[in-house]
Structure 1
Amino acid sequence: MEPLVQKIEDSLHKGFIDQHKHVSAQFKPKLLTNRAQENVLSTLLQELKTCKTFTFSVAFITEGGLATLKTMLYDLRKKGVKGRILTSTFLNFNQPKMFKELLKLENVEVRLTGVKGFHSKGYIFEHDDYYSLIVGSSNLTDHALKANYEWNLFLTSLENGEVIQHFTNQFEEAWKEGTILNEQWILDYQENYVVTPFIQNNATKIIEVNTEYLANPLSDSLSIKPNKMQIEALQQLKALRATGAKKGLIISATGTGKTFLSAFDVRNFQPKKMLFIVHREQILKKAMADYRKILGGNEEDYGILSGHSKDIHARYLFATIQTLSSEQYLQQFDPKEFDYILIDEVHRAGAKSYEKIFNHFQPQFLLGMTATPERTDDYNIFERFDYNVAYEIRLQSALEEEMLCPFHYFGVIDYEQNGVLIDEVTTLQKLISDERVEHIIDKITYYGFSGEKVHGLMFCSSKEEAYKLSSALNKKGFKTCALTGDHSQDEREEAIKRLETGDLQYILTVDIFNEGIDIPFINQIAMLRQTQSSIIFIQQLGRGLRKHASKEYVTIIDFIGNYKNNYLIPIALSGDQSMNKDNVRRKMVNTNYLQGISTIHFEEIAKRRIFESINHTNLSTLKILRDAYTELKNRLGKIPSMNDFMQNHSLDPEVISDYAGNYYRFLLKMKEEILALSAYEQQVLTMLSHEFLNGKRIHEIVLIESLLQQQSIFKEAYIQRLQDLGTYVDDKTLQSVERIFSLAFHSTNDRKKYGLKPIILFGQNSYQFNAEIQLSLSNHYFKSFVEDIVICAKCKNAQYDQTRPLTLYKKYSRRDVCRLLNWEHDDSSTIYGYRIKHQTVPIFVTYHKKEEVNASVDYGDELIAPDVFHWYTRSKLTLESKEVKAILAVKDTHTTIHMFTKKDDGEGFDFYYLGEANVMENSPKQETMYDKNNKEISVVTMNMVLEQPVQYDIYHYLVEE
């Protein structure tokens, strides 16, 4: 039986006869529900990425649903892959604008079926030698593909399978009778289109506003209820004040209702007089109107203190910092005049004008609010508020709580001319060239927007680019204006009004809209500049995240050039501040970490540019590490531990350890005045950090933890602790642990680095630290460093499979593998591509080798399928070589092959673990390749069959150039 036929037959057996049958996961039938890690969308994108053609038969389609596929369809168009979509006008669900979006898909033919009651939901993908099918409850909507609870069956079939034939025949029958979608059909449909009550009701459910932003200010204030986030924050503020605290800080993502939250808290506090301070006058009126909705009361209770208004006697006073801090007005207020003072965008409070306010007023409670407390001006906002963070919700959490408008982010390639891509030094002339302008228009048109009219912001790299690009777009028929810091407040407000009414389609700016302005109707943002920092990136993205009745989502189009800072994009989107390159890469490999219907997509070339930036950037420079350290120290008000970094989602302790050797030395590099440790104590910390901080094996961690709790432990008790954790325990592993601590495993250089003497002594039936370490542990300061390592290592170990030495798709160095496979010594320096030892064969493949390597020896290692690795032995070997025979006889000798790979040398020393593998029958061949002198060299190739197909995102990451 052919291998493919056998795999599909085995998979069907597992799916429909015996769930315990061990088969390849690639073709296994599965239920897609959006409740597991793999949602409908991720499977759909996987199948699109590898198919020859595709066929969709779906009754309902939304613009948001199409948006989730647009980047993939763009890349497929460039590869010449085409598809067909059959849809309907059933229940008038499909809106006219959605059909216009379908027409943008140049490689997709669309037809409208006349079948009465058409309600199908099926997706068929033709591959080289098989078909795959998703059929069930999911229409082509962003909610159905990613968020709703759905039931969809994923199946694989050969072409002659009856089920796939039945599906394709049904489709072809409806397709032949369908009407071809064209502009005239859309015009006719739009003219007669009537929204049914069914659609209106569902649209109302989709568009939810955090609080009643449009409520009548004079209505009963108690009718406006706090949302979930606000309820939790109000409870924490109350609890904070109960401790006697006079100050509190709220950290809340843009659009999550900070102003309403503060108003609710003022209502709870019931001050005699309240002061609300902002840095821009245009915010005052909106803030005052929102407060009236919550607090109620008479109009004369509310007043504004600004350049245009001087209502200083109002009970609820809303003031600009510029006016309030002037001596003329500040001295008119008694220091205790206001019971409750609130400062919006309080991260600006390092300015002298704010210092005047802090020094003058003595309120019963001071509340600061900000979305971005991180500062680079050495001002410690946390210290100013006595380190009282009352509540914090960041972007990812706010999206999960559905407090923000969902977004679809598209990382697109910027304009390229003659192989040269836009970069930091590109001249203004090229930035505003006709070709680049056309490129920008193509992208903003293709990726579109939610709603009837575009209300867009474009962030440019300079004022000159903003002005001249606006002029160029206007010549192309767009309605835009440039708005910079040179414009007055009135001019800015007028431009925003024109953008809302549709008189303008886009405002082009540099950075004046990064924060402190409310434009909830924005439905498209184009980023035409390099990412300067993750803070600014989120500030600019946040301009579109406020909910508004005119949109269901916001489109973010990020034009990615050849910028050094491209590595910041996945950091900003994910919120991962670990500075661990592998973490950053994984956020690019798998972007399915956002909750709800928000999605992240990168065009292939743009994705490649970001990976290049990650590879070529040092994420652990002294400046990066010092900034992160200072930020966390400011937040905590003390020297942080490594565990503090983990708990606050900051630097990865491994990054710290790799940089300095151990955390004690890191603190010295941070210029901290700390207690002294002996040279040997530092060596012990280096050993524990280097060997165990990564958490890749729990056994050593448990032993260290046990000996921190008691002076010695019996071997039986140690084994019992391991068994209680559910991990594997055997003699070889225990011997390996002992060799690690005795330093017998380590190289000569490492033994010197670790102090030469055994860390743990092993008696006949017990374990204990050596005498010098035991004495050092009586010093609480030294002990705290060891405990910190153990806590972090245990936390990291939670990511690994406790039941086996190696975990699929985790990354390991050659040295890690020597340890985890229980080798007697660290043989990593002599493994090279592979090594046969102790009934194990770890194979390490660098997928994309350097050109000079390819030139000298033409190895062609590659994944020819998700579960088949075509592999080359070392050169100058034949089928009769002892080494080759040993590999071919692994089943007879009970030897295990382990496959490891990395994309290229830019990934450093660690390899993805792809699992165990076996040699495919009849695949080993003796072949000839040529060195750089064109001399023939013998080599043996064979196909390694992986026990599990490579996870699709990692597979595509590895194989793509």
Structure 2
Amino acid sequence: MSRKFNARGYRTVALSGKDSEEKRQEAFERLAMEETDATQEMQPLDYIFSRDILNEGVDIVEVNQVIMLRPTQSPIVFIQQLGRGLRKAPGKEYVVILDFIGNYNNNFMIPVALSGDRSYNADVIRKYVISGNSTIPGASTVHFDEISKDKIFKSIDKIKGMKTLIKESYVSLKNRLGRVPLLYDFYENQEIDPLVIIREYKTYDAFMVAMEQDKYKNVLNEQEKLTLEYLSKTVLSGVRPDELVILSQLLHRDHIAVADFIKEYQNTYGIEISTSRVKEAVQVLQGHFVSKEAEYQKYCQIDILENDPAGMIKRLQSYTERLTHIPFYTQVEDIIKVGIARYKEKYLPGIKSEDPFVLYEKYSRRDVSLLMNCGKDLSSIMYGMKRIENDVFIFITYHKEESQDEKNYVDGKPDYADAFEDNLIFKWDSQIGKGLDSSYMKDVLGADRKHLFVKKSDAETSFYYMGQFDVLEARNAQKEDNRGRMQPITKVTMKMHHAVREDLLRYLQSHITA
């Protein structure tokens, strides 16, 4: 290719793994060179042709054209290739991507590459394609025409082999760093989301055994593995930092005064927390944050700390001994670093002191249990509506294309006419059998704070937090149950405290589902 281009008057070179670092560096400098800087000894280049070696670890910000001449089945490699041209530089107004060999067959990789999201979550990718223009930071815009959208949506539906994607990301990062990466390395280098790794493998240790096999077998004992499994499951996501800060402090000292902890927490995060909230965080770290007795019997053995009557959080001796084992210490510290980094980037900027939830972020029912200091995981009983002290939570699966008052059942499930009329007004049907005078509706209407969570379809496990709302109207109505009997329901008109963001509303109202 280089010879063909040179014959047509272009200035090009071909690089391979056989070329020295000096030759490669000279080629990079020539590619970035301005015509005015040319000398007799060194002329600018129009193109560099390469195979594999420029996928990663090369940063030439001036690149404004990428030509793809070989197919890749790897989203990671595709992102790296595309990323060669996405950096901003003085005088660089655009980048041209010429794909001659059909990488668009895996075209879900395009929104993944452009959005920066590394969760590979189908819902997140669909939302980005529908509303990309309003979700890219800065002055950038992305527009997908209808044909492109259709092809990408079909490609998204075929996403599979997450472990293959994880392994590709691991090999890529390991080669780039020259060492085995930790979870925080994946986060810091914008590789695949550490939460994706944990969802597939439960712990970093199990992930390492899968990647490196015998080299990492039996590095940890069973109690260490159990502790890391619980912490990965419970605090790695960083939805709040309470437990992470306690763990961080207990890495270096054997006790923490609760009063000092509260003061340091406020100084660091600007949020006042109560003694009872600290107590809840301690209970979480004692293995209590589970939904079943069998889980508690399993995780109560993690033996990390205790909260004594004198207002001290004390590290248990068995945990102190485990921390002397370097592989265990390293993995605990790694979980803490990822969790705190995620909290600072994803949640802290949008946190309001009176509300632990960030508008339009996604939360699972388990997250809601944690953030509301429930003491245990209530997700198994948190369906439709849940009242927790002075807060009520409404969970909606949004299927506007099916929701019609005259319909009673869709695919055997009650069809509730739940829909946004606009970005402020939401219409909601109570559960069948729950009239205006029911204790169910009294819980809704009597709560001081009312929160709405919405997900696009049942394929998703997490909900977008739409914010708090007030009830404008609640009236009795009837709906036929699955036995043909008329039952009371309550039709509720809500008004959101904040107008729902247009891109999210557009996505929810679209007919694209999993």
Same fold by TM-score, threshold 0.5 exceeded? yes
Shift of the 719–296 alpha-carbon distance from structure 1 to 2, 3 Å rule, reads same
Partner letter of residue 888 of structure 1? L
Asked if residue 760 in structure 1 is aligned to residue 305 in structure 2, the reply is: yes
The aligned counterpart of 2:496 is 946
* Separation in structure 1 between the aligned mates of residue 193 and residue 115 of structure 2, nearest angstrom: 15
Aligned partners of 2:59 and 2:84 also within 8 Å: no
* Separation in structure 1 between the aligned mates of residue 489 and residue 274 of structure 2, nearest angstrom: 38
TM-score (norm 2): 0.79
3-state SS of paired residue (1:835) = strand
Shift of the 848–728 alpha-carbon distance from structure 1 to 2, 3 Å rule, reads farther
The aligned counterpart of 1:643 is 184
The aligned counterpart of 2:17 is none
The aligned counterpart of 1:392 is 59
Shift of the 934–605 alpha-carbon distance from structure 1 to 2, 3 Å rule, reads farther
- Of residues 341, 347, 361 in structure 2, which corresponds to 1:795? 341
Counterparts of 1:275-674 in structure 2, within 5 Å, are 294-296=38-40, 345-348=49-52, 370=54, 372-373=55-56, 392-393=59-60, 398=61, 403=62, 514=68, 533=75, 535=77, 565-581=106-122, 584-585=125-126, 587-588=128-129, 589-592=131-134, 599-603=141-145, 606-607=148-149, 610-611=152-153, 613-614=155-156, 617-618=159-160, 621-672=162-213, 673-674=215-216
Asked if residue 917 in structure 1 is aligned to residue 469 in structure 2, the reply is: yes
Aligned partners of 1:686 and 1:754 also within 8 Å: no
3-state SS of paired residue (1:939) = strand
Asked if residue 772 in structure 1 is aligned to residue 318 in structure 2, the reply is: yes
Partner letter of residue 59 of structure 2? E
CA RMSD for the aligned pairs? 4.0
Note the C-alpha offset of 1:260. 2.1
The aligned counterpart of 1:820 is 371
3-state SS of paired residue (2:495) = strand
The aligned counterpart of 1:150 is none
The aligned counterpart of 2:225 is 682
Note the C-alpha offset of 1:932. 4.7
The aligned counterpart of 2:14 is none
Shift of the 571–925 alpha-carbon distance from structure 1 to 2, 3 Å rule, reads same
Asked if residue 734 in structure 1 is aligned to residue 278 in structure 2, the reply is: yes
* Separation in structure 1 between the aligned mates of residue 223 and residue 312 of structure 2, nearest angstrom: 24
The aligned counterpart of 1:697 is 240
Aligned partners of 2:426 and 2:494 also within 8 Å: yes
> In the TM superposition, what whole-angstrom CA distance separates every residue of 1:621-640 from its partner, at most 9, and x where no partner exists?
22111111111111111111
Counterparts of 1:44-59 in structure 2, within 5 Å, are none
The aligned counterpart of 2:406 is none
> In the TM superposition, what whole-angstrom CA distance separates every residue of 1:344-368 from its partner, at most 9, and x where no partner exists?
545456xxxxxxxxxxxxxxxxxxx
Partner letter of residue 621 of structure 1? M
Partner letter of residue 829 of structure 1? S
3-state SS of paired residue (1:800) = helix
* Separation in structure 1 between the aligned mates of residue 206 and residue 40 of structure 2, nearest angstrom: 58
The aligned counterpart of 1:502 is none
Aligned partners of 1:687 and 1:754 also within 8 Å: yes
Note the C-alpha offset of 1:771. 2.4
* Separation in structure 2 between the aligned mates of residue 541 and residue 777 of structure 1, nearest angstrom: 40
Aligned partners of 1:406 and 1:598 also within 8 Å: no
* Separation in structure 2 between the aligned mates of residue 647 and residue 537 of structure 1, nearest angstrom: 16
* Separation in structure 2 between the aligned mates of residue 564 and residue 608 of structure 1, nearest angstrom: 12
Note the C-alpha offset of 1:601. 0.9
Unaligned regions of 5+ residues in structure 1, if any? 1-216, 218-245, 265-289, 303-315, 319-342, 350-369, 374-388, 408-512, 517-528
* Separation in structure 2 between the aligned mates of residue 800 and residue 572 of structure 1, nearest angstrom: 22
* Separation in structure 2 between the aligned mates of residue 544 and residue 756 of structure 1, nearest angstrom: 49
* Separation in structure 1 between the aligned mates of residue 182 and residue 380 of structure 2, nearest angstrom: 33
* Separation in structure 1 between the aligned mates of residue 154 and residue 32 of structure 2, nearest angstrom: 44
* Separation in structure 2 between the aligned mates of residue 910 and residue 809 of structure 1, nearest angstrom: 11
Aligned partners of 1:902 and 1:912 also within 8 Å: yes
- Of residues 715, 722, 727 in structure 1, which corresponds to 2:258? 715
Aligned partners of 1:530 and 1:566 also within 8 Å: no
The aligned counterpart of 2:478 is 928
Shift of the 772–622 alpha-carbon distance from structure 1 to 2, 3 Å rule, reads same
Note the C-alpha offset of 1:924. 0.8
Asked if residue 900 in structure 1 is aligned to residue 446 in structure 2, the reply is: no
The aligned counterpart of 1:751 is 296
TM-score (norm 1): 0.44
Shift of the 833–570 alpha-carbon distance from structure 1 to 2, 3 Å rule, reads same
Partner letter of residue 231 of structure 2? L
Note the C-alpha offset of 1:712. 1.1
> In the TM superposition, what whole-angstrom CA distance separates every residue of 1:382-419 from its partner, at most 9, and x where no partner exists?
xxxxxxx5x625xxxx4xxxx46699xxxxxxxxxxxx
Shift of the 671–757 alpha-carbon distance from structure 1 to 2, 3 Å rule, reads closer
Partner letter of residue 898 of structure 1? H
The aligned counterpart of 1:430 is none
* Separation in structure 1 between the aligned mates of residue 446 and residue 328 of structure 2, nearest angstrom: 51
Note the C-alpha offset of 1:676. 1.2
Unaligned regions of 5+ residues in structure 2, if any? 1-10, 12-19, 403-408
Aligned residues: 471
> In the TM superposition, what whole-angstrom CA distance separates every residue of 1:669-689 from its partner, at most 9, and x where no partner exists?
113412610111011001111
Note the C-alpha offset of 1:883. 1.7
* Separation in structure 2 between the aligned mates of residue 718 and residue 294 of structure 1, nearest angstrom: 61
Shift of the 263–914 alpha-carbon distance from structure 1 to 2, 3 Å rule, reads closer
Note the C-alpha offset of 1:791. 0.6
Partner letter of residue 232 of structure 2? S
The aligned counterpart of 2:434 is 877
> In the TM superposition, what whole-angstrom CA distance separates every residue of 1:118-155 from its partner, at most 9, and x where no partner exists?
xxxxxxxxxxxxxxxxxxxxxxxxxxxxxxxxxxxxxx
Partner letter of residue 602 of structure 1? F
Aligned partners of 1:919 and 1:942 also within 8 Å: yes
Partner letter of residue 897 of structure 1? K
* Separation in structure 1 between the aligned mates of residue 359 and residue 288 of structure 2, nearest angstrom: 28
* Separation in structure 2 between the aligned mates of residue 591 and residue 626 of structure 1, nearest angstrom: 31
Percent of aligned pairs sharing the same letter: 28
The aligned counterpart of 2:15 is none
Note the C-alpha offset of 1:889. 2.6
Partner letter of residue 294 of structure 1? A
Shift of the 543–948 alpha-carbon distance from structure 1 to 2, 3 Å rule, reads closer
Note the C-alpha offset of 1:690. 0.8
Asked if residue 810 in structure 1 is aligned to residue 353 in structure 2, the reply is: no
Aligned partners of 1:692 and 1:701 also within 8 Å: yes
Aligned partners of 1:858 and 1:929 also within 8 Å: no
Note the C-alpha offset of 1:930. 2.7
Partner letter of residue 914 of structure 1? M
3-state SS of paired residue (2:227) = helix
Shift of the 682–406 alpha-carbon distance from structure 1 to 2, 3 Å rule, reads same
* Separation in structure 1 between the aligned mates of residue 496 and residue 23 of structure 2, nearest angstrom: 53
Note the C-alpha offset of 1:749. 3.8
> In the TM superposition, what whole-angstrom CA distance separates every residue of 1:131-186 from its partner, at most 9, and x where no partner exists?
xxxxxxxxxxxxxxxxxxxxxxxxxxxxxxxxxxxxxxxxxxxxxxxxxxxxxxxx
> In the TM superposition, what whole-angstrom CA distance separates every residue of 1:813-854 from its partner, at most 9, and x where no partner exists?
111101111123322101211112322211110102897746
Partner letter of residue 761 of structure 1? E
Shift of the 634–715 alpha-carbon distance from structure 1 to 2, 3 Å rule, reads same
3-state SS of paired residue (2:59) = strand
The aligned counterpart of 2:6 is none
3-state SS of paired residue (2:333) = helix
> Between Structure 1 and Structure 2, whose CA radius of gyration is higher?
1
Asked if residue 842 in structure 1 is aligned to residue 393 in structure 2, the reply is: yes
Shift of the 849–828 alpha-carbon distance from structure 1 to 2, 3 Å rule, reads farther
Q: Which has the higher contact order (CA 8 A, sep 6+)?
A: 2
Shift of the 924–608 alpha-carbon distance from structure 1 to 2, 3 Å rule, reads farther
The aligned counterpart of 1:831 is 382
